Structure 1
Amino acid sequence: MSVSSPSKKELVVVSGASTGIGAATARALASTGHHVLAGVRTDAEADAIRAAGVEPVVLDITVPRHIEALARRIADDPEGRALRALINNAGIEVNAPVEVLPLEKWREQFEVNLFGHIAVIQKLLPFLRRSRGRIVNISSVGGVAALPIFGAYAGTKFALEAASDALRREVRDQGVQVVVVQPGGVRTDMAAHSGDVSLALADAMSPEHQRLYGDLVRSTVALNTAFLKRALPAAKAGARIAEVATTARPRTRYTLGRDAALTVPLARLLPDRLMDRVLAASHRRPRRPAKTP
């Protein structure tokens, strides 16, 4: 698949395009001449992203009628443009220890980060088959290596990785390409907010869970907060995803950021116990002060 010319303005769908990686990806694709249907959830988000080549569409990927409306918008495109690519970027992140995170929070993350994307793929795949287009699934370094307290979020990304592999092999002979992008740390509103959510959940833990997990949660949040200050800017991540979505011969997977480029191959090469030690060293809990007699 070659990069579309600015005059052709083929359609690209980007879910989760209100802020962060999705917004940056939408703007980058519009700058290359594509017409981006940018998924947002509110009028305020629509006003913020609307621009030349970026058309906001109401798209909560857990709401079937929103997906139906998106399919109608593509089918009834006034210029008869083809759908060139679907970029599944929408996501949420709520991190807490496996034992502590309420089941409804597990289910909510799977509804958005996995089942919502599958619903969009199922609805839009016929358009991509006709155009011999591309699906780009935004996974995470967490889809390969799960950090402490990231069990639910990483679980959704591991599942998305597996679904992407199956889909790629299913549609290979139909002319549709499936690509996975694995970002590491990226400076986004979601990433910045997730630490506060984790700390709030930790504050609500029982005294026993506080004893077992309190230091771990606080040290993990502190480490990630510090790392995000030097993480990949969303604009650079979006520009790279736009390239992946339009390059002629894509690889099946791409990492984004130095941390992902290092962690992904380590997770695949190192034995589990050794990888555990590597991650434990980078997420060392602060020592408790010695008790005074």
Structure 2
Amino acid sequence: MDTEVDSAGVGAELRRWRRSRRISQLELAALAGTTQRHLSFIESGRSRPGRAIVVRLAESLGLSLRERNDLLMAAGYAPVFTESTLDEAALRPVREALEEILHGHLPYPALVIAPYGRVVAVNDAVEVFTEGAAPELLTPEVNMLRLMLHPEGMGRRVANLAQWGRHVVENLRARARRSPDPRLDEFVAELAGYLPEAPVSGDHLGFSVPMRLATADGELRLITTLTSFATATDVTLAELRLEAFLPADQATADALRRRAERKGYRRV
């Protein structure tokens, strides 16, 4: 006879994640190498899952490392993945590698951001984004997403804010749908409130919507690339994103090179 366990714990969490992913019990059970009956018992609180099956279910649901730890704790197990701070010795090689990447990307802007847009590290060229921004948007800890869309930040200098900003907001909305988070929902609503209505426009390169940014050196057209640590086993590292901007045309590339020479950016 199965022992009743707290259905408000791991079972309820599994059911919530499964429904948010729009996966049936049968599909999830197959992915995790178990039976639908066993999964049903776990979700209803009639069976307490072992640690191994919780790990397999979390992986099958595509949960982030933080979410996997949370699911393990809901089941009464210790977290599997460590969560370091960036100043710890264990992450020193990562910090050094990121610094090399950032400086190596000069004369183009690049930065490392943590969840919700918090800036972790930047290269010298990022000052093109802070040009003329309100001081309150530049106080530690800087939120790059807010700076980019806020009318007192870059927002007033982005000629195609409606189109370009919509892609920023939609990417965050997609993340919120995948990993429901009330704090992220509030942040998305705030950012969306900075955007004007987007008219129908063909202002794109066929594969990307460039940001058209007004600067002291004229209008720059920039496209964005995002890089993450796909094989990270540390929560902090897994949540970092390297955002690198590239010129969308030769005029932008030339302007950024001249700007770098004039301002004396350091490249290593």
Q: TM-score range, shorter-chain basis? A: under 0.3
TM-score (norm 1): 0.24
TM-score where L is the length of structure 2? 0.25
